[in-house]
Amino acid sequence: MRKAIVLLILIMTFLSGLASAYAITDKDIDFYKLFENHGSIMLLIDPQTGEIRHANKAASDYYGYSVEQLKSMKISDINILSENEVINEMQAAVAEQREHFIFRHRLASGEIRTVEVYSCPHAADDKKILFSTVYDITEKVRLAEKNKILFISLLVILMGVIVIIGFFTLLLFRNKKRLVESNDLLKETNRLLHEKQYSLEEQNTVIKGLNSQLEDDNERIQQQKEILQAIIDSFGAGIIMVDTEGNISFINEAWRDLFSYLDISDGLNRKFYISNMGYDTKTFFQKMMTGIENGNETVDKLIELTKDKESRFCADLEQTKPVRRFLNLYSNPCISYKNHNFGRVFVFRDVSHQKEVEKLKMDLINTVSHELKTPMSSVLGFSELLLTRKLSEERSMEYIRTINTEARRLTNLINDFLDMQRMESGRQIFNKKLNSVDDIIKDAIRLFDGEDNKYRIIYKKEMDSSPLIFCDRDKILQVMANILSNAVKYSPEGGEIHIDLTGDRGRIMVTVKDQGLGIPENAMDKLFNRFYRIDSDDRRNIGGTGLGLAISKEIIRAHGGQIGVDSVYGKGSSFYFILPCSEGSMAGETEDDSYSRGKDESGS
């Protein structure tokens, strides 16, 4: 169907100069309008020259050029690749070697956006032309880059620890070597003085040389201290040094950033003593532990550690104000290789992201284990009965149907996980064609023909004709099935489920309203998050993975639409989604404006 649309649009482009020779049909105009008014960005490109042969209104709105301006441009004018590189990519598409590309396009405003392009070739007037559909994936790429930067940051922190350990080892080795060399030099000097009876002038010369060497050594040591200071300041964790008397003598820049809400003067940068701020170490720790769960107990432990020369300590802290986050604290005594005690080091790290990742992992494990257990138990139990007992044909068929149902449930569960993974990684492929919304809704209703007859599904189409939408039929059917399944599951008392189809200004809206449990207000903004399920007594025994609405959101977003919900707790919910369509493209008149399945008004 995509190739047919491209061919018809190409013909309509050439018809503008040949109107006297060819008659334009209403059907051609309908498809032309579909191209012009479609919500997705569409371009027709000559693969030989790179000239943009045609563009729709969505392309004009996105790139910031008028349609006429776009038709006078080459694709290399908006693609940041060179013209030869762009033509090479188009030739690959023409040869059908590739149909999916990732480019960076320049808008009229000068902004560079990352786009995903699907291209397919078609022949027109003995020439090949590319039909390209463009999707903006800038935010998805930025999210991937943020995750990459986070990974690199963690790697840099690890490397920093290794470098510091290596640097300390090297520094200690060099200092020891220099002390030995200086001692040997002094011994040799003393020997020469006694052997040769140096004159006073000669002795002064030797002493000056020694002083010069000592000055060089001091300068080198000072430089090494500055390097060490720079390394510690750039370390990703906040560090506090407490001396043997319990005074805080040092903090690094990372600590200042981590606890930026504390008023720490820059004048206390290197020689940092709490007494200069007008309060003692305990008061400082109390201010630092603001909003920490069990903060007073933690402060007492920190004060106890300042007097402890041996123990190591590690703790996870949860902070609720002035910022909500999770911190990891560990502390070691600071003892040199010669067993000199210099006090204690406290290291703070923000581990909020790691906690979030761990929570998502546990949610996944809990969901999978819970959702797999029930169907697997049913499959194993009923299959064992079939294998070990002689059952009637009717009972055997009943067990086989149960096994089939549970196997389908397992398959759907696995498909949900795979769909979510593909969508989040950007590898989901959509087979988009023109489809009737009315037909998709009716097919979704038929999926629930076997449900308990205490439910009645009522479908009403508030328009004379059925609009066509450019979509992946199976994916939109999956969205409808997910929403209807929730309406049935979360309406334990049964009742009516209303489906309304409305349309206006090139958009259609499908609304599914139930009379079920409803949604608490504090759960509305998290409802479309993956693995999220409302935790309440009236829902605890209702199965589900928490992925259905998250997948539906990704599918609707990929089709250029919107999805949302309105609900009053205890009075039911109303889910809706909006998709772009062509105002002039209709599937034909329908005989009825409503469709229903389930019990009648009396409930029979």
One-character DSSP codes across 134-195: EEE-HHHHHHHHHHHHHHHHHHHHHHHHHHHHHHHHHHHHHHHHHHHHHHHHHHHHHHHHHH
Q: Is the model's pLDDT at 577 over the cut of 90?
A: yes
Confidence at 480, pLDDT banded by 50, 70, 90: very high
Domain 2-137 has CATH 3.30.450.20: yes
Give the largest CA-CA distance in the chain.
126
For 507, list phi and psi in degrees, rounded to 5.
-135, 150
CB 119 within 8 A of CB 106: no
* pLDDT at 1 (0 to 100): 45
CB 33 within 8 A of CB 584: yes
Mean pLDDT of 415-443: 84
Please, what is the angle between helix 281-288 and helix 295-306, to 10°? 140
Q: What is the mean pLDDT of the chain?
A: 78
What's 145-351's CATH class?
Answer: alpha beta
Dihedral, CA of residue 8, residue 9, residue 11 and residue 12, to nearest 10: 120
Which has more confidence, 365 or 503?
A: 503
> Could you tell me which residue, 439 or 198, shows the higher pLDDT?
439
* Numbered ranges of CATH 1.10.287.130 in the chain: 355-425
pLDDT at 12: 47
Question: Tell me, what's the pLDDT at 24?
Answer: 47
Structure confidence by residue, pLDDT tens digits, 209-247 = 778 888 877 887 777 777 776 676 666 788 888 888 888
pLDDT at 173: 74
136 forms beta bridges with: 115
- Residue ranges, comma separated, of all CATH 3.30.450.20 domains in the chain are 2-137, 145-351
In the prediction, which pLDDT does 591 show?
A: 42
How would CATH label the architecture of 355-425? Orthogonal Bundle (1.10)
CATH of span 433-598:
3.30.565.10
CA 435, CA 433: separation in Å to the nearest integer? 6
Work out the number of other CB atoms within 10 angstroms of the CB of residue 525.
8
- Per the DSSP assignment, residues forming a β-bridge with 509 are 502, 578
Tell me how many degrees the CA angle 546-549-553 measures, rounded to the nearest 5. 140
Confidence of residue 3 (pLDDT cuts 50, 70, 90): very low
Tell me the per-residue pLDDT of 150-188, one tens digit each, with 9 for 90 and over.
Answer: 888 778 777 877 777 777 777 777 777 777 777 777 777
Segment 278-286 shows an average pLDDT of 74
- Integer angstrom CA distances of residue 24 from 4, 10, 27, 129: 16, 13, 8, 21
Distance in angstroms (rounded) separating the CA atoms of residues 556 and 549: 10
Residue 198's pLDDT band (boundaries 50, 70, 90)?
A: low
pLDDT tens for residues 518-541?
Answer: 888 888 888 888 777 776 666 666
Where do you find CATH 3.30.565.10 in the chain?
433-598
Q: How far is residue 434's CA from residue 583's CA, in Å, rounded to a whole number?
A: 13
